[in-house]
A and B are shown apart, each in its own frame.
Chain A
Amino acid sequence: MGISLIVVVVIVTALAFDFTNGFHDTANAMATSIATGALKPKVAVLISGVLNIVGAFLSVEVAKTISSGLVDETKINPYIIFAGLIGAILWNLLTWLLGLPSSSSHALFGGLIGAVIVAAGAGAVHFSTLISKIILPAVISPILAGVIALVGTVIAYRSTAKSDSESTKRGFKLGQIASASMVSLAHGTSDAQKTMGVITLVLITAGVLAPNAGPPVWVILAAGLAIGLGTYLGGWRIIRTLGKRVSDIETPQGFAAETATTAVILASSHLGFALSTTQVATGSIFGAGAGRRIAGVQWGVAGQMAVAWILTLPAAAIVGAVAAFAASQGVVGTVLVAVVAIAVGIGIYAASRRTPVTAENVNDVESPVAPDEIRTKDGVVQA
């Protein structure tokens, strides 16, 4: 049996989602390293991209269920997966344009839920799983990560206060490079596997792979490369938001934030919670900012992000539902969805070119500074 058109379309769409996942989430690992100058922007995204690819190969335990039991998987067909992916991609692109670090995982879950509701009815969605496995951890995990990062930041500053600041700064720079690398690795393992799971499931439903088969090497390679390439191209808009707009981050804070992120993600994925790397990393950065100076944190930015987080699941679900409805109308509908999605994607990219954020200008914004604080960075004293 040959591979039908829809299977090819789903594979390409899944890799496209993986790509947006990569550049949307570069900031999680590297925003603070870039902001503090621990790593040069281009070097940071290169390290992160490579470690994402490595991470894709590290674990062979592929998520058995792409939706973590959120929807009745017997109702899933390639058209639903396609529609769900479209919803996730478009939401990822829109939040990237706005520079908002929203969860790629929630976008994927939302897209799938919307598509399933249209195709199989609301009964196919397990709402109690949605609350206990997704929504509750989504509320708790950023707060937990923030508290951990706050305590870590206080410890880092208190314990090194009496030491030579030149050597401690160098030490924390190295520590930050290590902790950021761990975040990248964990991200590659968890998020690249989601795409592998999607592609493998489609290949199984198409009869190309035997049921319960693991992902072929080319799927692992393709998923790893897609997320790695996306990471390397760097979502500079989101990197700027997390690295510069939240708070003026220094190396001990960056180190404490990334250590907190890694710990929360590893502990929770070990116990089966599908946490959003993005939300954990964002919570950590706010906590680390508050740990040094509560007034130096832009809580208004936190409000914007919270709104984006709440909207992510329903917004992706709506797009997924519309796409599922259109795609279920046959080949013409599927093609129409693909064409519209590509057009919107190009439109968002074009809109981003009007105010480009690149490796060169990512740090060129004023960090929030409390009114009474005197900055002596770069020898320039500002009131």
Chain B
Amino acid sequence: MSIAWGSLGLVAIVSFAAAVVVTALVSFGIVGLAARSPRPDGPEPALSPAAGTAVGATCLVVAALIVLYGLYIIVA
């Protein structure tokens, strides 16, 4: 009986990396976009509106690209 430990390990590493990176990117994206329109009673945003927009948009675009690659894997 041969157990494909290599493939199992690869699945673990790839899925861990992909999921953690996407989650982090979306979180940062949300933080960035939240800085665009601070509410008067809300907390002080960490970034200026312009920087927040740039960071947020970049993070979300990269996350979207990873998701598109996931779609590509389903279809292909």
Interface residues of A (CB under 8 A from B): 55, 58-59, 128, 131-132, 136-137, 140, 144-145, 147-149, 151-152, 155-156, 159-160, 162-168, 171-172, 175, 178, 182, 185-186, 189, 252, 255-256, 259-260, 262-264, 266-268, 270-273
**Residue of B7, B71, B75 touching A271 (CB-CB under 8 A):** B7
How distant is B48 from chain A, measured CB to nearest CB, in Å? 14
CB distance B11 to A264 under 8 Å?
yes
CB distance B15 to A264 under 8 Å?
yes
Q: Write the chain B residue with the least CB distance to A151.
A: B20
Expressed in whole angstroms, the Cα–Cα distance for A9 and B20 within the complex equals 46
How distant is A310 from chain B, measured CB to nearest CB, in Å? 20
**0/1 interface trace, chain B 39-76, chain A, CB 8 Å (1 if under):** 10011011000000000000000000001001101110
Q: Write the chain B residue with the least CB distance to A159.
A: B27
How distant is B29 from chain A, measured CB to nearest CB, in Å? 7
**Residue of A136, A167, A266, A273 touching B73 (CB-CB under 8 A):** A266
How distant is B3 from chain A, measured CB to nearest CB, in Å? 5
How distant is B43 from chain A, measured CB to nearest CB, in Å? 6
- Cβ–Cβ < 8 Å partners of A128 in chain B: 1-2
Could you give 8 example pairs across A and B, Cβ below 8 Å?
A: A156-B26, A159-B31, A160-B30, A163-B34, A164-B45, A185-B74, A263-B22, A270-B73
CB distance B7 to A136 under 8 Å?
no
Expressed in whole angstroms, the Cα–Cα distance for A152 and B24 within the complex equals 7
Expressed in whole angstroms, the Cα–Cα distance for A168 and B42 within the complex equals 12
Q: Size range of the interface on B?
A: 35 or more
Which of A55, A165, A189, A270 is the most central at the interface, judged by chain B CB atoms within 10 Å of its CB? A270
CB distance B3 to A132 under 8 Å?
yes
**0/1 interface trace, chain B 10-40, chain A, CB 8 Å (1 if under):** 1110111011101110111111011101110
CB distance B23 to A172 under 8 Å?
no
CB distance B20 to A152 under 8 Å?
yes
How distant is A246 from chain B, measured CB to nearest CB, in Å? 19
Q: Write the chain B residue with the least CB distance to A284.
A: B19
CB distance B70 to A266 under 8 Å?
yes
- Cβ–Cβ < 8 Å partners of B16 in chain A: 144, 147-148, 151, 263
- Cβ–Cβ < 8 Å partners of B39 in chain A: 164, 166
CB distance A137 to B8 under 8 Å?
yes
How distant is A69 from chain B, measured CB to nearest CB, in Å? 13
Expressed in whole angstroms, the Cα–Cα distance for A47 and B25 within the complex equals 25
- Cβ–Cβ < 8 Å partners of A147 in chain B: 16
How distant is A34 from chain B, measured CB to nearest CB, in Å? 20
**Residue of B2, B3, B23 touching A255 (CB-CB under 8 A):** B23
* Given A58-B74, A132-B3, A271-B7: A162 and B43 interface contact (C-beta under 8 Å): yes
Which of B15, B39, B45 is the most central at the interface, judged by chain A CB atoms within 10 Å of its CB? B15
* Given A162-B43, A166-B39, A256-B23: A59 and B75 interface contact (C-beta under 8 Å): yes
CB distance A164 to B43 under 8 Å?
yes
Expressed in whole angstroms, the Cα–Cα distance for A252 and B27 within the complex equals 9
CB distance A163 to B46 under 8 Å?
yes
* Given A58-B75, A162-B46: A136 and B8 interface contact (C-beta under 8 Å): yes
A-B contact sample (18 more), CB < 8 A, given A152-B24, A171-B29, A182-B67: A155-B24, A156-B26, A159-B24, A163-B45, A164-B34, A167-B30, A168-B34, A171-B30, A182-B71, A185-B71, A259-B23, A262-B19, A263-B16, A263-B18, A263-B19, A267-B11, A271-B7, A271-B10
* Given A59-B75, A148-B15, A267-B11: A182 and B34 interface contact (C-beta under 8 Å): no
Which of A132, A152, A168, A267 is the most central at the interface, judged by chain B CB atoms within 10 Å of its CB? A267
CB distance B22 to A259 under 8 Å?
yes
- Cβ–Cβ < 8 Å partners of A136 in chain B: 3, 8
CB distance A156 to B27 under 8 Å?
yes
Which of B2, B3, B23 is the most central at the interface, judged by chain A CB atoms within 10 Å of its CB? B23
**Residue of B7, B18, B67 touching A273 (CB-CB under 8 A):** B7
Q: Write the chain A residue with the least CB distance to B39.
A: A164
Q: Write the chain A residue with the least CB distance to B32.
A: A163
How distant is A271 from chain B, measured CB to nearest CB, in Å? 5
Q: Write the chain A residue with the least CB distance to B17.
A: A263
